[in-house]
Protein backbone atom coordinates (compact mmCIF):
# COMPACT_ATOMS: atom_id res chain seq x y z
CA UNK A 1 0.00 0.00 0.00
CA UNK A 2 2.84 2.41 0.83
CA UNK A 3 4.38 1.72 -2.55
CA UNK A 4 1.18 2.77 -4.33
CA UNK A 5 0.96 5.96 -2.23
CA UNK A 6 4.55 6.97 -3.09
CA UNK A 7 3.91 6.45 -6.79
CA UNK A 8 0.75 8.52 -6.69
CA UNK A 9 2.44 11.71 -5.37
CA UNK A 10 5.08 13.03 -7.76
CA UNK A 11 8.16 14.68 -6.22
CA UNK A 12 8.42 18.41 -6.83
CA UNK A 13 11.41 19.20 -9.04
CA UNK A 14 13.57 22.13 -7.92
CA UNK A 15 13.52 25.16 -10.18
CA UNK A 16 16.33 25.80 -12.65
CA UNK A 17 17.54 28.76 -10.60
CA UNK A 18 17.91 26.62 -7.50
CA UNK A 19 19.86 24.02 -9.47
CA UNK A 20 22.40 26.62 -10.65
CA UNK A 21 22.57 28.55 -7.35
CA UNK A 22 25.70 26.70 -6.04
CA UNK A 23 27.59 27.48 -9.27
CA UNK A 24 26.58 31.13 -9.09
CA UNK A 25 27.70 31.36 -5.45
CA UNK A 26 31.08 29.75 -6.21
CA UNK A 27 31.54 32.20 -9.10
CA UNK A 28 30.82 35.18 -6.83
CA UNK A 29 33.21 33.88 -4.18
CA UNK A 30 35.99 33.48 -6.76
CA UNK A 31 35.35 36.99 -8.07
CA UNK A 32 35.45 38.74 -4.70
CA UNK A 33 38.26 36.70 -3.14
CA UNK A 34 40.58 36.10 -6.11
CA UNK A 35 39.88 38.05 -9.28
CA UNK A 36 39.00 41.50 -7.88
CA UNK A 37 42.03 41.81 -5.53
CA UNK A 38 44.37 40.64 -8.30
CA UNK A 39 43.02 43.26 -10.71
CA UNK A 40 43.47 45.97 -8.04
CA UNK A 41 47.06 44.84 -7.41
CA UNK A 42 47.79 44.88 -11.14
CA UNK A 43 46.34 48.39 -11.49
CA UNK A 44 48.45 49.65 -8.56
CA UNK A 45 51.60 48.08 -10.05
CA UNK A 46 50.99 49.76 -13.42
CA UNK A 47 50.53 53.11 -11.68
CA UNK A 48 53.78 52.57 -9.77
CA UNK A 49 55.66 51.79 -12.99
CA UNK A 50 54.30 54.91 -14.65
CA UNK A 51 55.53 57.03 -11.72
CA UNK A 52 59.18 55.86 -11.79
CA UNK A 53 61.55 58.78 -12.34
CA UNK A 54 65.29 59.26 -12.36
CA UNK A 55 66.73 59.38 -8.86
CA UNK A 56 64.23 56.97 -7.28
CA UNK A 57 65.57 54.06 -5.26
CA UNK A 58 63.94 50.87 -6.56
CA UNK A 59 63.88 47.16 -5.76
CA UNK A 60 63.71 44.65 -8.60
CA UNK A 61 61.85 41.36 -8.38
CA UNK A 62 65.26 39.67 -8.21
CA UNK A 63 66.12 41.60 -5.05
CA UNK A 64 68.55 44.16 -6.50
CA UNK A 65 68.38 47.60 -4.89
CA UNK A 66 69.64 50.63 -6.75
CA UNK A 67 69.08 54.17 -7.92
CA UNK A 68 67.40 54.85 -11.25
CA UNK A 69 69.68 56.71 -13.68
CA UNK A 70 67.71 56.42 -16.94
CA UNK A 71 64.05 55.73 -17.71
CA UNK A 72 62.73 54.71 -21.11
CA UNK A 73 59.33 53.38 -22.10
CA UNK A 74 60.11 49.68 -21.64
CA UNK A 75 63.23 49.53 -19.48
CA UNK A 76 65.25 51.45 -16.90
CA UNK A 77 68.92 51.67 -16.02
CA UNK A 78 69.77 51.18 -12.35
CA UNK A 79 73.03 52.16 -10.64
CA UNK A 80 73.79 49.48 -8.04
CA UNK A 81 76.78 51.35 -6.61
CA UNK A 82 80.50 51.36 -7.38
CA UNK A 83 79.70 52.35 -10.95
CA UNK A 84 77.80 49.14 -11.68
CA UNK A 85 74.85 49.86 -13.94
CA UNK A 86 72.19 47.33 -14.87
CA UNK A 87 69.50 47.61 -17.52
CA UNK A 88 66.20 46.15 -16.24
CA UNK A 89 62.83 45.61 -17.86
CA UNK A 90 60.47 48.09 -16.26
CA UNK A 91 57.78 45.53 -15.44
CA UNK A 92 60.24 43.61 -13.21
CA UNK A 93 60.30 46.36 -10.56
CA UNK A 94 58.85 45.21 -7.27
CA UNK A 95 58.91 48.43 -5.23
CA UNK A 96 59.98 52.05 -5.12
CA UNK A 97 61.73 52.53 -1.80
CA UNK A 98 61.99 56.23 -1.07
CA UNK A 99 60.01 58.07 -3.68
CA UNK A 100 60.79 61.75 -3.66
CA UNK A 101 57.70 63.66 -2.54
CA UNK A 102 57.11 67.35 -2.18
CA UNK A 103 58.29 68.75 1.13
CA UNK A 104 55.02 70.59 1.74
CA UNK A 105 52.27 68.88 -0.20
CA UNK A 106 49.43 70.06 2.04
CA UNK A 107 49.90 73.75 1.32
CA UNK A 108 49.92 74.62 5.03
CA UNK A 109 52.79 76.52 6.60
CA UNK A 110 54.09 75.97 10.11
CA UNK A 111 54.20 79.27 12.00
CA UNK A 112 55.61 79.46 15.49
pLDDT tens column, 8-62? 556 667 788 888 999 999 999 999 999 999 999 999 999 999 999 999 999 999 9
Residue 108 lies in a domain: no
**Verdict on whether the full-model pTM lies above 0.75:** no
Residue 95 lies in a domain: yes
Q: In three state form, how does the secondary structure of the chain look?
A: CHHHHHHHCCCCCCCHHHHHHHHHHHHHHHHHHHHHHHHHHHHHHHHHHHCCCCCCEEEECCCCEEEEEEECCCEEEEEEECCEEEEEEHHHEEEECCCCCCCCCCCCCCCC
Residues 43, 21: one domain? Answer: yes
Give how many domains the chain has, as a whole number. Answer: 2
Domain interval for residue 64: 53-99
Residues 46, 57: one domain? Answer: no
Amino acid sequence: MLNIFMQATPAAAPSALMQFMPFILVGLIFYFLLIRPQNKRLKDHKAMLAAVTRGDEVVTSGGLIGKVTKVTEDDITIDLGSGTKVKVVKSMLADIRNKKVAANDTGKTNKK
